[in-house]
Structure 1
Amino acid sequence: MDRRRLADLISRERARYAEQHPRSASAYSNARHLFGRTPMTWMAKQAGGFPLYLATARGARVTDLDGHTYIDLCLGDTGAMAGHSPEPVVEAVNQRLGVLGGATAMMPTEDAAWVGEELTRRFGLPQWSLSLTATDANRWAIRLARAVTGKQKILVNSYCYHGSVDESLIVVGPGGTAEVREGNVGAPVDTRVTSRVAEFNDLTRLAAELANGDVAAVLMEPALTNIGIVLPEPGYLEGVRRLTREHGVLLINDETHTFSAGPGGCTQAWGLEPDILTIGKAIGGGVPVGAYGLSDEVTARVEARDDLDLIDMGGVGGTLAGNALSVAATKATLEHVLTDEAFAGMTALGTHLADGTAALIQKHGVPWSVAQLGARAEFRFADPAPRNGGESHAAGDPELDDYLHVYAANRGVLLTPFHNMALVCPATTRDDVDAHLEVLDAAIAELVG
């Protein structure tokens, strides 16, 4: 690739971006009392140099302060996988907040029992508890795993993503040794004290790490997502389940992003049998919520421990967890929006997106690869496709990412800022996907000359 040509294209596209978005640029410049000038620092990750500011959103469209409307294939990095403000969720929120009143009262609602039953139908785990985020669900699942196993370490995959869980920020280094993940902010202890790590798809390393006898749980996504989609090789997930059982280690499946695989995520689609399952983001239809499910065995082991404080200060709850507003939104999302039928259509569009991207890669002869996970598709700058997190990390190209993202934004398409992921929602159309493919085609054509 001609890097000078790439630099020139980025410069051209950023200039166009700045010219088209003066109000967003002004809003960003004036946000002097926000750390990083954004409500949350990751919002500053924008290929154009400053973030687009949201004005309105509905379905698969967002409109910025400057009046530009976009096909949204980012969808809040999964948080809006139901689409923006789906009508059933809007109605449920209005009913709970405006008609009935009481967004949060530290009192349960009948909606919560429905949500628990529906999550059981989808994922198979019979007992559920709610949180506000998937990160919280993961933290609480880890606490329970340590409590019932009496072991302290958590094993994760290299370059995994489980929110800001401290134990997950560990990678396999170039020499095969465990290393603290670069960029980790203010770790309470060296992550190697709390965690072990194995590459995804590496059962040999997993077996060796578990043989140390100090791992309480394996916390993993059934497919890696936040370092690019890395799919499990045949027999890998079955091997993980076998090894965890042999070593008396609990298996926690984080389905927060892999929920895109279907109405019950990878767990339902692939017949997985985790001991604990965590999820968040999408199930609330845009309203903050998370949840974790427990097997009967784990539930019994927790309940047999009368020394654990699950009511007050034991570290497995939050004041706003399970609040009436979040639960109402979750019920509406699962009952009326992210239904089995909706996922069938979303997966078909995901396949069209992946196939179209693969055709463009072949057309232009670029050494890239594409992977699909239901309603989600993503390409990486590697061929063949990476088989683990380390390989996918090594395939990263920040300048090329920036070019493709700002080029798409300038032509009305939004992708997830951190990687080349495109996600569809129930409101996304085939024409939307085709429009994205046309933009990607043009971007690659300009790049290769």
Structure 2
Amino acid sequence: MSTGVDRARVDAAYRAETDRLVVDHPRCAALAEAGRAHMPGGVPMLWMEKWPGPFPLHVTEATGAHFVCADGIEHVDLCLGDTGAMCGHSPAPTVAAIRKQAAIGLTAMLPTADAAVVAAELTRRFGAAPSSVTSWQFTLSATDANRHLLRYARQVTGRPKVVVVDYCYHGSVDESFATLSEPDATGTRHVVPRRGTIGAPVPPSETTRVVPFNDVEALAAALAAGDVAAVLLEPAMTNIGIVLPEPGYLDAVRRLTRTTGAVLIVDETHTLCAGPGGCTRAWGLDPDAVVVGKTIGGGVPAAALGTTADLADRIAASLALEDIDVGGVGGTLAGNALSLAAMRATLTEVLTDDVFPAMTARADRWADGVRSVIDRHSLPWHVTRLGARAEYAFSAQEPRDGAEAAAADDFPLQQYLHLQALNRRVLLTPFHNMALMSPATTDADVDAHTAAFAEAADVLAGS
């Protein structure tokens, strides 16, 4: 697929931006080099090597929608921890709650009063009709929440298979690292490990069926055998670029899962950007279970899994109290006092209903700015919006599914645009061209990216 830009020009521009990063960030470079002595790649997690340039920046301070690197340079943060800091860095109410709780106990394997308050608030957000998600449990990550719900679904249905969407991402859930092959000689597409998958415990075809997003017929075929325990999906794809559902698609997913007895799990970890109750509330969805993580703890590791009362009752009836701690669900630190205190403050005082309109307006401003640059240079790219999140990608039309979104990717071009923005003191997420707005993000922050993007487009156009 043509991106409408000259490859040699991209390569030359990337080299120039690399030189600029090195000159501007000697302290970050030194810290990265010191880290390589005892950390692979010099980073605490290998995926951090994917940041553009020869080393990632090291952060010394992050507040609101900005961070300061080790070289004392302040940056606009439109990545926001890839949603983990969607409420802004270190919001005052969350920090106050963390300080208070830290002084009186971090974890005890016993509940605190905060837990019931958080569960009630999540019910208010995600349990409004037609949804009836009213029963909650707490984990340290959305990965854990997704894993637990898949185990519960298998437990209550007695079925072995899981259905996921082609090119989905649900954290490090083994069943989700599966995609569809190219058609074979008969035109059949097979379930295969997603490129880059490491050490899969079993071939994904043994656990998983994969269907394209927005493909109702494929989902019906995947469910037809009656052996699927759960369908796990984002209501809009966000980890391969934003792919929005077509009209009627999510209604069809609900109808098919209900007819075939499969548990419908909606992962709202990223799509919480659509509003206080994510897409579930904004679009009137009716799942059996919801996962929400990352941002609800204000930066403290925290996530929640919610179910309908019916599913909660079925789960409880299938478990023996004597064995409830060895079923593969939970963890010693899950639901700890510190994370619940952070969730309570974040949900009730920071990421409240009234902050979302301004966040969405700034995402629209960002998208309008990018769109204006794309149009001015007649680039065959598009911009997609989802609440407080927006993204550009290198195809003229918005993709219908994950495969189309993947085909539109251009990693070297993406790396250049990210590094160019970083050198203009604006951070985007390293995995795709996404910008996320927090309650602290300003019009000036958004306009800084528009200016950088316009300058990059001029370079790519040779002007």
Q: Same fold (TM over 0.5)?
A: yes
CA distance in 2, matches of 1:135, 1:348: 30
Show structure 1 runs of 4+ deviating over 6 A.
none
CA positional deviation for 1:114:
0.2
Residues 196/373 of structure 1: CA separation in 2 closer, same or farther (3 Å cut): same
Residues 136/199 of structure 1: CA separation in 2 closer, same or farther (3 Å cut): same
Q: 2:246 aligns with which of 224, 233, 242?
A: 233
Residues 307/107 of structure 1: CA separation in 2 closer, same or farther (3 Å cut): closer
CA contact (8 A) 2:192 2:203 kept: no
CA contact (8 A) 1:310 1:316 kept: no
For the residue of structure 2 that corresponds to 1:126, the secondary structure is: strand
Residues 151/309 of structure 1: CA separation in 2 closer, same or farther (3 Å cut): farther
For the residue of structure 1 that corresponds to 2:343, the secondary structure is: helix
Are 1:173 and 2:181 an aligned pair? yes
Unaligned runs of 5+ in 2: 128-132, 184-188
CA distance in 2, matches of 1:2, 1:126: 53
Q: 1:45 aligns with which of 22, 26, 50?
A: 50
Could you tell which deviates more after superposition, 298-307 or 208-217? 298-307
Are 1:148 and 2:179 an aligned pair? no
> Which residue number corresponds to residue 186 of structure 2?
none
Q: 2:117 aligns with which of 114, 120, 123?
A: 114
CA positional deviation for 1:307:
4.2
CA contact (8 A) 1:308 1:314 kept: no
Residues 127/303 of structure 1: CA separation in 2 closer, same or farther (3 Å cut): same
Are 1:105 and 2:108 an aligned pair? yes
1:67-110 deviation per Cα after TM superposition (whole angstroms, max 9, x unaligned)? 11100000000000010000001100111112xx1111111100
Identity of aligned residues (%): 55
> Which residue number corresponds to residue 70 of structure 1?
75
Q: Which amino acid aligns with 1:222?
A: P
CA distance in 2, matches of 1:309, 1:217: 26
CA positional deviation for 1:212:
2.1
Q: 1:271 aligns with which of 284, 287, 296?
A: 284
CA positional deviation for 1:356:
2.0
Unaligned runs of 5+ in 1: none
1:334-355 deviation per Cα after TM superposition (whole angstroms, max 9, x unaligned)? 0111000111111111111122
> Which residue number corresponds to residue 126 of structure 1?
134
Q: Which amino acid aligns with 1:64?
A: C
Q: 2:19 aligns with which of 15, 21, 28?
A: 15
Q: 2:227 aligns with which of 186, 210, 214?
A: 214
- 5 Å matches for 1:299-310? 299-307=312-320
Residues 5/328 of structure 1: CA separation in 2 closer, same or farther (3 Å cut): same
CA distance in 1, matches of 2:161, 2:31: 44
> Which residue number corresponds to residue 87 of structure 1?
92
TM-score normalised to the size of structure 1? 0.98
TM-score normalised to the size of structure 2? 0.95
> Which residue number corresponds to residue 359 of structure 1?
372
CA positional deviation for 1:177:
2.4
CA contact (8 A) 1:71 1:413 kept: yes
> Which residue number corresponds to residue 130 of structure 2?
none
For the residue of structure 2 that corresponds to 1:312, the secondary structure is: coil
Residues 310/401 of structure 1: CA separation in 2 closer, same or farther (3 Å cut): farther
CA positional deviation for 1:370:
0.8
CA distance in 1, matches of 2:247, 2:433: 25
